[in-house]
Amino acid sequence: MSEQPNELRICPHCGQENASHTLRCIRCGQELEELFELEGFDSKSAEDGDAFESEMAPMAEILASLDESPLLAENNKNEEEQLESPGDDDQGQPESDKTSPDWLERIRQRAKEEEDAAGELAKGAIAMDDRRSQEGRKQVDEAFDEILKRIREQNEHEKARRTRRVESELVDENGDPEWLRRIRELHPDHEDAAHDNKFASVKDAIDDEWTEEELQELLRREMGLPETPEEEPEEEAEEEITTEVSTPPTFDEIEVTSPPQLDFDNNAIEIEPEPEMIHNIPVDEEEVLNTGLMANLPLEDFESQGLVEEPEQADKDLEPDKVNESAETLVEGESDAEFEEKIYEEEKPEAEGGNTSSSDAPLSTEEILPDLLLLKNQRERAQVFSEIIGQEGRRTIAVLHETSRQSKIGRLVLALLLILGVLLAILIGTSGAVDLPSSASAAGFVKNLESIGSDEAVLIILDYQAATRNDIEPLAIKALEMLKENSSDVRVVTANPENLWLAGTVLDPVQAVDEYIPGGMLGYLALAVGDAPSWGELPIDQAFTGDADLFEGLEQIILVSDSADFVRMWLEQVSPWQQGIKTSAITTSVSAPILLPYHDSGQLQGIVAGLADAKALAVEPQNLVNQRAYQVGMLLMIVVLLLGMMMKADEDAQRRAEERRQ
Amino acid sequence: MSTVDLLLLLAGLVLSLMVFSYLLGDTLLFGIAMYTLVGVTAGFTFLVLLQKVILPMAISPLSAFPQTSALLALVPLVLSVLLVWLLFKKSSRLSGIPLGFLGGIVAAALIIGVSRGTLVPQLLSIVNAFDPNQMTSSGLPNWSGIFEAFMMLAGVLSVLFVFHHRKNKKLQDAFNHSWLDGVSGFGQVFIGITFGAIFVGLFSTGLVALIAYIQYLVDFVRLW
């Protein structure tokens, strides 16, 4: 808004003086922008025409501020005054200003009649701007999406090309991938065979007269490369071909100039491009293949598991007809993506149809994955096996009781104390006599022994060790003496070779064991069960010097054994077959508690066990061990046990108190 | 005393002292004594088996070959050869024939023997303990017999329950049955008494052996 609205305004374009309220120059029609210079509004933006046009958006705000501006209200008021008193205005104004155009008058008139005209205009401008902005945004978005789409497609194409290049770089001149070469290096024996097999089909297809140079030339022609000049050295040509073959071009790079068929000796021979050896083995699995474990596996295993894709198979995967068709399609100008999609669509129905055998079909990741998992499993097993080998010789089970030096010393002290006590008891004083109450089992044994009459057959079974002879032999000697007094028919047998010479103490020195029973308890069982056959004698009968029927006419059996198991086995195996025979036992103190139930059940007529039952048989003291030493030894052991129990209780109490404290 | 007896006594003294050296640990002297014992026992056993078993039972019957006894003698001989073959080839299936034959017979004998010789007689013993004739004496109750019968029954049941309770202790921890623990503890008392009696018998037997050999040494020294 100008500071002097009543002054004339000079058109900046033509210099014509205009009224202060005119919008345009009356001569040239140039807009007089200064009219719209408002307070607080950036005048620079209004002066700059280009910038002003770019900032059309706040037009509605400008118009709205015009309505509210008091200056504009004054201006309108002045205009009304001027309209009401035209004579006054005409005096002060030039002629040109007096004759204002009709359109301006209409505008002014309409502005008087419609107070919100500016608002309507603002609304229309805003709506127009919105409509234009929406259309513009839509176009911009579409263009942006299209650009993004193109960029993505280009990236995908670029990735596919890079993948092919990387894979092709891993393939050598023979078409073998790097991982396969590593395996073959580990198996040089198989390498030759595999190498020969690989080219067997090629040699079958191609005439034997084809030379290497011809094949390379044919390959160069196939790949669209210029033919090798004859004057070039062979080495250079080979290097070029080798380089090119090692990096076979992708379909994008192939320029097919002629059909890939050549007539040679009236045979259509198709030289195909080197197949791409694509393997789906991850990097970590390649490490597995490079380990020593995989080196031990023969190459046939890899081939059988489908890990090695033979070139023949790859040749079958890429059949020449398809290559020709694809090449022709490419010539017709199809894009790379369309070309690849077409090949993929051609291969897909074959794979789904199952027309080709499984060996011919390319191996997918899903097919190879189980094999890779198997290899991984083998690797894990190898690691476990190596760990087991490493742990060989080490202690795998924790020792339940670690013997400490302190316990060794305590054991030594206890043993020496016991030996010293026994020694002193033997050296000092008399041997004494044990006056223990007779047990029921011992009484039963004596009663049964006394019941044996004359001429009754008694079988004595010896089965004890030398270590327990002092606990058993006094009782056995006394029993034999009683039987001898009764004139009983005593027969002594054993199945333990040791008792053959131990019996010399029990029996008369000139008397030996009557029979040796081979087979232990099974021998006794055979004799108890078996009968003499009509056709002869059993092999075990050959072992007897006398009557082989061990149990015939037998009334009593006395088992002299230090083993409760032997007595129990006898009662379980032999006695049920010979139920009319009474059985009793002379055993040690250890076996007595175990055999007591058999005495209660009536299976044993009586039991005498060790030194405690010596009184029942009235064994002479001189035939027994030193009774005083026995008492001293038992007393020492009782003291040690009581002390041990007290110390253990004290340790437990201290541990519990410490646990409560914690 | 003859010279031979004196030498035997001296040898016995030396061997006894070598065995006593085990108190100082697994010494060389103890090892020598043990190897001597094992070697002598094995040699003696082989001679006994050769004289009493192999020659009369396996070799001698072959002399009367056409007869049935000779043919029957071939059966244990062949089985013995197959068993010896196991020493040279442990994975031989032919060697499994005598082993299987022997194992089958032993297993069958054990099962039948335990049933006929232990289970049935012991159960009958418990049942017979409740015989009215044994629980009465002259028309009056025999309280000792009654007490013995019930204690026997309670002991058997509680001891059997100890093993069952220990096996399922983890499952029963979820349910607090104090009476089950009481029955199990009652059975453990019987087991403790049994093991205590066995330990006393074991120590008594060992002590008798110790006294006997110390007496032997003392007697040997007193000779001089």
Whether residues A332 and A467 share a domain: the answer is no
Q: Up-side HSE of residue A83: CA atoms within 13 Å toward CB?
A: 12
Domain-embedded: residue A215: yes
Domain-embedded: residue B203: yes
* Structure confidence by residue, pLDDT tens digits, A32-78: 755 444 444 444 444 444 444 444 445 556 555 555 555 545 455 55
The pLDDT, as a whole number, for residue A299 is 43
- Would you call B202 an interface residue with chain A, using a CB distance cutoff of 8 Å? yes
CB within 8 Å of chain A, chain B residues 145-164: none
Sheet holding A582-587, edge to edge: A515-516, A489-494, A457-463, A554-561, A582-587, A607-609
Subunit contact A568:B118, Cβ cutoff 8 A? yes
Domain-embedded: residue A92: yes
Whether residues A188 and A336 share a domain: the answer is yes
Residues of chain B contacting A601 with CB distance shorter than 8 Å: 121-122, 124-125
The pLDDT, as a whole number, for residue A574 is 92
Among candidate residues A585, A601, A619, the one where a domain is terminated: A619
Minimum CA–CA partner of B71 in chain A: A539
pLDDT, mean of residues A505-521: 75
Whether residues A207 and A233 share a domain: the answer is yes
Domain-embedded: residue B69: no
Whether residues A572 and A444 share a domain: the answer is yes
Whether residues A641 and A614 share a domain: the answer is no
* Structure confidence by residue, pLDDT tens digits, A348-358: 544 444 444 44
Subunit contact A626:B118, Cβ cutoff 8 A? no
Domain-embedded: residue A393: no
* Structure confidence by residue, pLDDT tens digits, B82-133: 888 888 877 778 888 888 988 999 999 999 999 999 999 999 988 988 888 8
Domain-embedded: residue B179: yes
Confidence of residue A140 (pLDDT cuts 50, 70, 90): confident
For residues A503 and A82, the model is more confident at: A503
Contact pairs from chain A to chain B, CB under 8 Å:
152
Kindly report the CATH number assigned to the domain that includes residue A579.
3.40.50
Closest to A299 measured CA to CA, from A384, A390, A414, A184: A184
Among candidate residues A362, A378, A394, the one where a domain is terminated: A378
Write down the mean pLDDT value for chain A: 68
Residue A60 is part of which domain span? 9-115
Q: Position A500: which residue type?
A: L
In A2-69, alpha helices (H)? 43-47, 49-54, 59-68
| Residue B196 pLDDT > 70 | yes
Minimum CA–CA partner of A536 in chain B: B69
Strands (E), A506-646: 515-516, 554-561, 582-587, 607-609
Structural tokens at position A317: 């995967």
The pLDDT, as a whole number, for residue A460 is 92
The pLDDT, as a whole number, for residue A307 is 43
Subunit contact B57:A471, Cβ cutoff 8 A? no
Whether residues A209 and A348 share a domain: the answer is yes
Structural tokens at position A382: 């190898």
Residue B160 is part of which domain span? 140-224
Q: How far apart are the first and last CA of chain A?
A: 92
What total of structural domains would you count in chain A?
Answer: 4
What total of structural domains would you count in chain B?
Answer: 2
* Burial class of residue A579 (count of CB atoms within 10 Å of its CB; 0-12, 13-18, 19+): exposed
Q: How far apart are the first and last CA of chain B?
A: 12
Distance of alpha carbon B192 from alpha carbon A608, whole angstroms:
23
Whether residues A312 and A290 share a domain: the answer is yes
Among candidate residues B47, B64, B81, the one where a domain is terminated: B64
Mutate which: A405, A588, A641, vs B, most B CBs within 10 A: A588
The pLDDT, as a whole number, for residue A571 is 94
Distance of alpha carbon A366 from alpha carbon A127, whole angstroms:
60
Task: For residue A550, give how far its alpha carbon lies from the nearest alpha carbon of chain B (Å).
Answer: 16
Characterize B17-37 residue by residue with b for buried, 16 or more Cβ atoms within 10 angstroms of its Cβ, and e for exposed: ebebbebeeeeebbeebeeee
Minimum CA–CA partner of B46 in chain A: A497
Residues of chain A contacting B215 with CB distance shorter than 8 Å: 426, 625-626, 629
For residues A167 and B216, the model is more confident at: B216
Whether residues A445 and A575 share a domain: the answer is yes
DSSP tag of A508: -
